[in-house]
Amino acid sequence: MAHQIQPVFIVGTGRCGSTMLSNMLRGHRDVLSISEFLVTVTDLGSRIAQAFPETPLNAEQVWSVLGSCHPKSAVMLRHGIEMGEFLYEPAPPSRFTRESGVPAVLLTTLPHLSAQPDELFDELREFVMTLEPARAVVQYRRVFEWLERRFAKKVWVERSGGSLRAVPRLAQSMPDARFIHIVRDGRDCAISMSRHTGFRMMMAATMMTTILGYDPFDCDNRAGTEDLPGYLYRLLPEHFDVNTFHNMDAPPALFGLHWSGEIKRGLNALAELPRERVLTLRFEDILADPAPCLRQLIAFIAPELVNEEWVRRSAEMVRPVRSSWQRLSSQEQAALTGVCRPGLAALAEFGLDREPMQGSFAAKASPSWVGSPLAAPATA
């Protein structure tokens, strides 16, 4: 009997190249590439308490997390500003529309796996309804393993944007799980975040929650909304204004602060794990010379899965990306570098500003980190 390959999570800060890895792994005959599960079932990181409660989940509760239309995603779909990562086509002949909303697991995860996501959705529901009560992480692992069997794969690999902060929870809950950490220059991450509809939505919702003391997307309470700045008031879900959303000031520096906090905390968490549970890859190295990085990636998942044809096909998917932050004015470059400096210094301390690194880190970053005004993306 073949041995069970240990599961893998691809983690990063968001906007760091992890989607590219998901798409590459989808083309491997033995790998089940699970994309954006954690971020969609938590509604862009805002419903962690509902998706990962302290008490066990029964079958109906699991399906409520997977099969419900969550508020932020629903607003984005209804107004046509959904993330590019959402793969479901919300129009006939599909079952769900922009007006009806799309269940969380159908936004990306199932269409990433099947050209008939609605049918797979029904199959998955039948399985989920057989589940005995268990902790959330156990239930989701059961879902991943069912999908692995359903598609006759040898291993599952989950990848969600912004999942780096989930490492402590996942590592503790799944002692056999391993982590591929993809790192990108934080200045480029920050610029990409500032233009990304998902990160912009999370920024707006976080600001509202900070001012109001509650998330207006997730409840009917409207106490204190008169205190919101005008542009945030116009983004309340009941009268969401698309033009206001597009014109909202979302400076890269704000996201640079967020990136620094995420990368420092993430490096500290990964440093606590045994060396065999971590592989770190630099996005810039993949762009410059993809084949060696891809061999390292697939060998880390399982040496027997190394496949030169897959390496060749995946390398052809890489497209050159010109560094965005270097196209800024010198003043803008200096400002963005300044807010990213804590994260860049942490990468340098771990040697990740120069070359990829596998295994535990030789040194630990400072235990203190610059907190971000953004609470998202938190995925588990």
SS (H, E, C) 70-110: CHHHHHHHHCCCCCCCCCCCCCCCCCCCCCCCCCHHHHCHH
* Chain segment 192-248, per-residue pLDDT in tens: 999 999 999 999 999 999 999 999 999 999 999 999 999 999 999 999 999 999 999
Q: Going by DSSP bridges, is the β-strand pair 357-358/178-183 parallel, antiparallel, or unpaired?
A: unpaired
More confident residue, 69 or 368: 69
- What does the DSSP 8-state code read for residue 119? H
* Chain segment 103-121, per-residue pLDDT in tens: 999 999 999 999 999 999 9
pLDDT for the residue 373 = 29
pLDDT for the residue 39 = 97
Average pLDDT, integer, range 238-267: 97
Highest mean pLDDT among 224-238, 310-324, 347-361: 224-238
Instruction: Quickly state the pLDDT bin for 363 (edges 50, 70, 90).
Output: very low
Task: Calculate the average pLDDT of the chain.
Answer: 91
pLDDT tops 90 at residue 30 = yes
Average pLDDT, integer, range 305-320: 96
pLDDT for the residue 351 = 87
Q: Going by DSSP bridges, is the β-strand pair 178-183/155-159 parallel, antiparallel, or unpaired?
A: unpaired
Instruction: Quickly state the pLDDT bin for 3 (edges 50, 70, 90).
Output: low
pLDDT tops 90 at residue 2 = no
Tell me if residue 37 falls in helix, strand or coil: helix
Tell me if residue 337 falls in helix, strand or coil: helix
Structure tokens at 59: 């079958």
pLDDT for the residue 4 = 81
CA distance 157 to 149: 13
pLDDT for the residue 354 = 52
Predicted TM-score of the model (pTM): 0.91
